[in-house]
Structure 1
Amino acid sequence: MTDFTLASSDALVILIVFGVAWILWGWYLGRNNRTLDDYALAGRNVGFALATATAMATWITSNTTLVAPQLTYQFGVWGMLGYSMAALGLILFAPLAAKIKQLLPNGFTSGDFIYQRYGKAAWMAFIVISLCYALGWLVSLGMAGGLLLSSLSELGYVTGMSAILVICVIYTLLGGLKAVIATDFVQSIVIISGVVFIAWVCIDEVGFSTIHTNLSASQPELLNLLFPAAIMFFFNNVFFGIGEIFHSNVWWSRAFAFAPSVGKRSYLTAGLLWLPIPIVTGFIALAAGSLQLSPPSADMVGPMVAAALLGKIGAVFIFIVVFSALASSMDSLLAATSDLLTQDIVKRVLIPDASPNRLLKVNRLVIVGLGLLTWCVAALKLATLGALLNFTGAFVASTIWPIVYGIYQPKLTGGFAAGAMIAGTVAGLIGYFMIGFYVAAIISCALSLLICQIGIRHSQTFFTWHSLKE
Structure 2
Amino acid sequence: MNIPWANIIVILILGVIFIVSSWFISRKVSTADEYISGNGKLGVAFGTTSLLAFWITGNTIMAAPEAAYGLGVIGAIAYSFLGGVAVVSFSPLGKRIHEIIPHGKTVGDFYKNRFDKKNYYFFMVMLFIYMFGLLMTQGIGGGLLLEQIFDVPYSLAVVLTFIIVIAYATMGGFSSITGIAFFQVMLIFLVVIIVPPLVYFSTGVAPIYRGMAEFAPEKLDLLLPAGILFMFAGAMFAIGEVFMDNTFWQRAYAVRKDKLMSIFALAGVGWFFVPLATATLAFVAIGTNQAPEEVNQVAPFIAQIYGGNFVSWVFLVGVWSALASTIAAILNALVSLLIHDIYQSLNPRADNEKLLRISKILTVAIGVLALLISLPKFLTMLQMLIFLGVINAAFVFPIIYGLFWKKLDATVAFIASILAIIVGYVVYYTVGDLQGVVASGWVSFLVCWVGSLVKPANYNWDKLYRVGQSQASEVKRK
Shorter-chain-normalised TM-score: which range? over 0.9
Tell me the equivalent position of 1:437.
433
**8 Å Cα contact 1:243/1:400 also seen in 2:** yes
Tell me the equivalent position of 2:361.
365
AA matched with 2:384: L
**8 Å Cα contact 2:202/2:307 also seen in 1:** no
Return the alpha-carbon distance in structure 2 between the equivalents of residues 419 and 459 of structure 1.
12
SS at match of 2:452: helix
User: Pick from 130, 135, 154: which aligns with 1:133?
Assistant: 130
1:395 aligns with 2:391: yes
Unaligned runs of 5+ in 1: 1-5
Return the alpha-carbon distance in structure 2 between the equivalents of residues 203 and 259 of structure 1.
41
Q: Per-residue CA shift, 1:385-443, capped at 9, x if unaligned? A: 11112110000111111111111101101111111111111211122212222222211
Tell me the equivalent position of 1:74.
70
Return the alpha-carbon distance in structure 1 between the equivalents of residues 356 and 256 of structure 2.
22
**8 Å Cα contact 2:135/2:330 also seen in 1:** yes
Tell me the equivalent position of 1:409.
405
**8 Å Cα contact 1:111/1:127 also seen in 2:** yes
User: Pick from 26, 29, 49: which aligns with 1:33?
Assistant: 29
Structure 1 residue 7 displacement after superposition: 7.6
Return the alpha-carbon distance in structure 2 between the equivalents of residues 302 and 464 of structure 1.
51
**8 Å Cα contact 1:151/1:304 also seen in 2:** yes
Q: Please list, as runs of the form range in 1=range in 2, the aligned pairs for 1:165-184 lying within 5 A after superposition.
A: 165-184=162-181
Return the alpha-carbon distance in structure 2 between the equivalents of residues 74 and 62 of structure 1.
18
Q: Please list, as runs of the form range in 1=range in 2, the aligned pairs for 1:271-310 lying within 5 A after superposition.
A: 271-291=268-288, 293-310=290-307
Q: Per-residue CA shift, 1:166-189, capped at 9, x if unaligned? A: 111111100111111111111111
Q: Per-residue CA shift, 1:49-94, capped at 9, x if unaligned? A: 1001111121111111100001111111121111112211110101
Tell me the equivalent position of 2:374.
378
Tell me the equivalent position of 2:119.
122
Tell me the equivalent position of 1:55.
51
Tell me the equivalent position of 1:328.
325
Unaligned runs of 5+ in 2: 467-478
Structure 1 residue 289 displacement after superposition: 3.6
The change in CA–CA distance for 1:406 and 1:153 in structure 2 (over 3 A counts) is same
Return the alpha-carbon distance in structure 1 between the equivalents of residues 96 and 353 of structure 2.
29
Return the alpha-carbon distance in structure 2 between the equivalents of residues 357 and 72 of structure 1.
49
Return the alpha-carbon distance in structure 1 between the equivalents of residues 221 and 246 of structure 2.
38
Q: Per-residue CA shift, 1:20-76, capped at 9, x if unaligned? A: 110111111111111122111112411211001111121111111100001111111
Q: Per-residue CA shift, 1:9-29, capped at 9, x if unaligned? A: 221111110111101111111
**8 Å Cα contact 1:206/1:290 also seen in 2:** no
SS at match of 2:382: helix
Return the alpha-carbon distance in structure 2 between the equivalents of residues 104 and 169 of structure 1.
31
Tell me the equivalent position of 1:211.
208
Return the alpha-carbon distance in structure 2 between the equivalents of residues 461 and 310 of structure 1.
60
When the two chains are superposed, the root-mean-square deviation of aligned CA atoms in Å is: 1.6
**8 Å Cα contact 1:125/1:421 also seen in 2:** no
Tell me the equivalent position of 2:87.
90
AA matched with 1:259: R
Return the alpha-carbon distance in structure 2 between the equivalents of residues 179 and 292 of structure 1.
44
User: Pick from 19, 34, 43: which aligns with 2:15?
Assistant: 19
Structure 1 residue 237 displacement after superposition: 0.3
SS at match of 2:257: coil
Q: Per-residue CA shift, 1:137-163, capped at 9, x if unaligned? A: 000000111000110112100111111
SS at match of 2:39: helix
Tell me the equivalent position of 1:252.
249
Structure 1, 20-29 or 36-45: larger mean CA deviation: 36-45
AA matched with 2:442: A
AA matched with 2:129: C
Return the alpha-carbon distance in structure 2 between the equivalents of residues 455 and 186 of structure 1.
47
Q: Per-residue CA shift, 1:253-302, capped at 9, x if unaligned? A: 11111123222221111101111221111111110144453200000000
Return the alpha-carbon distance in structure 1 between the equivalents of residues 66 and 227 of structure 2.
13
**8 Å Cα contact 1:78/1:230 also seen in 2:** yes
SS at match of 2:406: coil
The change in CA–CA distance for 1:445 and 1:460 in structure 2 (over 3 A counts) is closer
Structure 1, 426-435 or 66-75: larger mean CA deviation: 426-435
**8 Å Cα contact 1:76/1:223 also seen in 2:** yes
Return the alpha-carbon distance in structure 2 between the equivalents of residues 279 and 380 of structure 1.
29
Tell me the equivalent position of 1:226.
223
The change in CA–CA distance for 1:460 and 1:240 in structure 2 (over 3 A counts) is closer
AA matched with 1:401: F
Identity %: 29
Return the alpha-carbon distance in structure 2 between the equivalents of residues 10 and 302 of structure 1.
22
Q: Per-residue CA shift, 1:318-358, capped at 9, x if unaligned? A: 1101111111211111101111122222223x334433432
Q: Please list, as runs of the form range in 1=range in 2, the aligned pairs for 1:135-214 lying within 5 A after superposition.
A: 135-214=132-211
**8 Å Cα contact 1:8/1:155 also seen in 2:** yes
Return the alpha-carbon distance in structure 1 between the equivalents of residues 70 and 332 of structure 2.
33
AA matched with 1:385: M
Tell me the equivalent position of 1:3.
none
Tell me the equivalent position of 2:103.
106
Return the alpha-carbon distance in structure 1 between the equivalents of residues 446 and 327 of structure 2.
34
TM-score (norm 1): 0.95
Structure 1 residue 449 displacement after superposition: 0.4
The change in CA–CA distance for 1:14 and 1:287 in structure 2 (over 3 A counts) is same
Runs of at least 4 residues of structure 1 off by over 4 A?
none
Tell me the equivalent position of 1:467.
463
Structure 1, 333-342 or 254-263: larger mean CA deviation: 254-263
SS at match of 1:427: helix
1:339 aligns with 2:336: yes
Return the alpha-carbon distance in structure 1 between the equivalents of residues 3 and 290 of structure 2.
20
1:457 aligns with 2:457: no
AA matched with 1:108: K
